[in-house]
Amino acid sequence: MSRLIVRIALDRIVTALIAIAVALAAIPVLVLLLFVVIKGLPGMLAPGFFTQSFHPYGIPGGGVLNAIVGTVEIVGIASVIAVPVGSMVGIFLSEYGRNSLGNTVRFVSDVLTGLPSIAFGIFAYTILVATLGHFSAISASVALAVLMLPVILRATETAMILVPHSLREAGLALGAPRWRVTLEVVVPAALGGIVTGALLAMARAAGETAPLLFTALGNDYLQLDPLRPMGALALTVYRNALLPYTSLQDQAWAAALLLVLIVGLTNVLARIYVRRIQR
C-alpha cells in the first residue's frame, strides 16, 4: 500500500515540476514581449514611421520605410535562393540519402547552424562584395540564404521522413516513376512541415543583423536596386537602439516591434495553411 502512496506522491511531484517548468518558460516570453511592445509602441505611433525614410537626429519625422522595403527585398531574394535549394537537399536526404554521403551532408548542416551569424556575413563579403567592389543587397541575400539552408533542409527531411512508406509504395505500385512519386505524392503530404520550416527560416533571417553589416551595409534612402546597398529593419534596430537620442531610440524599438509582428503574422499564416492542408 505504501508503494502506491509513493508512486502517487511522485506523480504529484512530477506534475508540480512540470507546472513550474511551464511557468518558468512562460515568464521570459511574456516579459520580453511586453518589453518590446511597451518600448516599441510610441515609435510606431509616431507620424511618418511607416511612410517616411530615415531622418537623422534633429530633423523631425522620419521612419523606417526604406528599412521595411529593404527587409522584404533582401529576405525575399534570400528565400527564393534558399527554399528551393534547401527543400531539394531535404528531399535528397530523405529519399536518396540514407547513406554516408547523406550523413556527411547532415553533419555539415548541423555544424553550419553552430557558427556565429557574423561568419556568414564575412563569407558573403569575401565572395561577393570584395570581388565586385561594392556593397549590395544581393550579397546580404546570399549570406542569409546560407544561414537559412540548414533549417529548411532539416525541416524538409523531417517532414518527408514522417510520410508513411505506404504512400510511396502505393505510388510505385501504380507504375509511376520514382521522381513523380516523390514530387507528386510525398512532397504534397509533407508540404505542411516544409512550409513551416521555410517560414521559420525566413523569420529568423528577417531578424538577423550581423550578416547584413558587411553585405547590405545599410541605406538611409529608399532604393530597390539589389546591386546597391540597402537598409533593413534589423540594421535600424542595431544601429539606433544604443544612440543617446530618444527619437531614434524610439524608432529602433518600434522597428523591433514591427519585426516581431511580421514574424507573428507569418507564424499564424503558416499554422492556418498547415491546418488547411491537413484537412
Site for another protein in 45-74 (CB under 8 A): 55-59
Separation CA 234–CA 255 (nearest Å): 8
User: Is residue 221 helix, strand or coil?
Assistant: coil
Separation CA 248–CA 42 (nearest Å): 11
80 is an interface residue for another protein by CB under 8 A: no
Q: Which of residues 152-171 bind another protein (CB under 8 A)?
A: 153, 157-158, 161-162, 165, 168-169
Q: Which is nearer to another protein, 21 or 80 (CB)?
A: 21
Q: Which long-range contacts (CB under 8 A, 24 or more apart) does 236-245 make?
A: 236/54, 236/64, 236/67, 237/209, 238/209, 238/213, 243/57, 245/57
Minimal distance, residue 45 CB to another protein, in Å = 19
Minimal distance, residue 279 CB to another protein, in Å = 18
Q: Which is nearer to another protein, 267 or 273 (CB)?
A: 267
Q: Which of residues 94-153 bind another protein (CB under 8 A)?
A: 95-97, 101-102, 104-105, 107-119, 122-123, 126-127, 129-130, 133-135, 146, 149, 153
Separation CA 134–CA 125 (nearest Å): 10
Give the distance from CA 273 to its chain's centroid.
Answer: 17
260 is an interface residue for another protein by CB under 8 A: yes
Neighbours of 185 (CB within 10 A): 18
Q: Which is nearer to another protein, 80 or 183 (CB)?
A: 183
Minimal distance, residue 92 CB to another protein, in Å = 4
Minimal distance, residue 60 CB to another protein, in Å = 12
Separation CA 172–CA 3 (nearest Å): 55
Q: Which is nearer to another protein, 51 or 104 (CB)?
A: 104
Q: Which of residues 1-40 bind another protein (CB under 8 A)?
A: 7-8, 10-11, 13-15, 17-22, 24-26, 28-33, 35-36
Locate 74 and state its grid cell: 533582401
| Contacting residue, 41, 72, 172, 274, with another protein by CB under 8 A | 172
Residue window 197-226: x/- pattern of binding to another protein, with contact defined by CB under 8 A: ---x--xx-xxxxx--xx--xxxxx-----
Q: In what helix (H) or strand (E) does residue 214 lie, and over which residues does it extend? A: none
Give every CB contact of residue 203 below 8 A, 6+ residues apart in sequence.
262, 263, 266, 267
With cell 534547401, the residue in question is 86
Minimal distance, residue 47 CB to another protein, in Å = 18
With cell 516513376, the residue in question is 177
**Alpha helix stretches (DSSP H) within the chain:** 2-45, 65-91, 100-114, 117-124, 137-162, 165-173, 178-181, 187-207, 210-213, 233-240, 246-278
Minimal distance, residue 84 CB to another protein, in Å = 9
Residue window 229-248: x/- pattern of binding to another protein, with contact defined by CB under 8 A: x----x--xxx-xxxxx---
